[in-house]
Amino acid sequence: MTRYRLQLRHPSGVTPIHVGDGVLSDESSQLEDWVLDRRVFVISSPTVLGLHARVLAPLSERAATWNVLEVPEGEDAKSLEVAGSLWEAILEAGGKRDSRILAFGGGSVGDLAGFVAGSYMRGIDYAQVPTTLLAQVDAAIGGKTAINLTKAKNSVGLFHHPQRVVADTRLLRTLPREELRSGLMEVLKMAILSDGELFVALERDLEGLLSGDAATLSPVVAAAAEGKISIVERDPTERNERMLLNLGHTLGHALEAGLDYRLLRHGEAVGYGLLFAVRLAERRGLSADTAGRIRQLVDRFELPKLPALEVDTLVEFMGRDKKIDEGGWRWVLPTELGSCEVVSDLAREEIEQALQDFLTELS
Ligand code: GLY
């Protein structure tokens, strides 16, 4: 079985990232050594524990103590209250500076667990064992951790890199198709950003990937992770190039917020964001051929239909995005397959008109 052993070099060290079918029960992940004789706190959600808790049994036998801390599903986990109850529970159970946190779940669990690890006793070690495709290709990599404020997602957090990431594609078999679709949209984003070959692989294998086949998914997860690693290594704290990862996210985040984080999964919203970015990019010279190929591929994802939305509402949410600074709106736009640029000279009126046309065409 193919295993991919990657690593991410960052200002506080190196994070090994292991990807593959069955990699969690493989000694090469070195998780057993990492938990050996430590107090371990597993942060996870009820669904993930119900489906996969038993895969952690060999690890639990190596730990000095093993506490499983259950948090709410999805974004509801990323609150100050939940973080506070975890700090208290960890302290109560004897958590020390050399204790370890294992994030076992999707992106929300990983963001929360990383935040709790980064702040408990000024920072303790944690590992990411992502169980969704989205987390395996994006959220678990790069050290971003966060909780949400009532009106702004991910607004309180810190950079705290995990000591290791173990992305076992076997865990993806239980994911519903919509969740795979959501994760694959982040893979498509990475392909458009920096990897023309990955784009071709998606064109060729999309149906197999959407069905959750671990062998088909493993090389694609590894390629997307590699793309993210190389951007984060060049710009760990998002001063410039890491901003490229925001391709499709300016409108994507606004759609998620405008729909109260209920109707669209993150990747589905990003799918619409990609289509809008292609539209803006075409006006600046993206070839009709490339634009057409991206549109055709996004079409094959069969995104859920958008309900009626007001341009003003979306523009307001875009204005609240934390990636917008005093310099104004910056848009990541494809220039060709595998390459994008950041532009900041698009007038607000131009965006509003393009968005109006985009929504009209979709309705
Ligand atoms: N998900 C975007 C980033 O890690 O920068």
Range 186-199 average pLDDT: 97
Q: Which residues are catalytic?
A: 122, 144, 186, 228, 238, 242, 246, 249, 253, 266
Measure CA 338 to chain center: 19
By three-state DSSP, how is residue 232 classified?
helix
Measure the CA–CA gap between 305 and 272, rounded to whole angstroms: 10
Predicted pLDDT of residue 320: 74
Residue nearest ligand 1's atom 4 by CA: 142
Average pLDDT of the segment spanning 89-116: 98
Q: Is 296 exposed, middle or buried (0-12, 13-18, 19+ CB in 10 A)?
A: exposed
As a whole number, mean pLDDT of residues 273-285 equals: 96
Query: Could you read off the pLDDT of 312-344 as tens digits, one per residue?
Result: 999 988 887 656 665 568 899 999 999 999 998
CB 189 within 8 A of CB 223: no
Nearest to 19 by CA among 200, 211, 172, 203: 172
- Taking all residues of the chain, what is their mean pLDDT, rounded to a whole number? 94
CA of 242 to the centre of ligand 1 (A): 7
Measured in Å, residue 247 CA sits from the centre of ligand 1 at: 10
138 lines ligand 1 (CB under 6 A): yes
The letter for the amino acid at 231 is I
151: pLDDT strictly greater than 80: no
Average pLDDT score over residue span 160-164: 98
Distance CA 205, CA 220 (A): 10
Tokens 């090469």 locate to: 28
What tokens appear for 71 in the block? 């948090």
Q: What distance in Å separates the CA atoms of residue 25 and residue 313, rounded to the nearest whole number?
A: 47
Cβ(265) to ligand 1 under 6 A? Answer: no
Contact between 78 and 94 (Cβ < 8 Å): no
The finding on whether 170 has its CB within 6 A of some atom of ligand 1 is no
Whole-model pTM? 0.95
Name residue 96's amino acid. K
C-alpha 293/C-alpha 243 separation (Å) is: 24
User: From atom 2 of ligand 1, which residue's Cα is the shortest distance away?
Assistant: 245
Show the DSSP H helices in 211-265 as ranges.
Answer: 214-234, 249-258
Mean pLDDT lowest for which of 25-29, 92-96, 234-238?
25-29
Residue 138 Cα: closest atom of ligand 1: 1
Residue 17 CA, ligand 1 centroid: distance in Å: 16
pLDDT score, position 324 = 60
The verdict on the CB of residue 245 being under 6 Å from ligand 1 is yes
At 172 the three-state DSSP class reads: helix
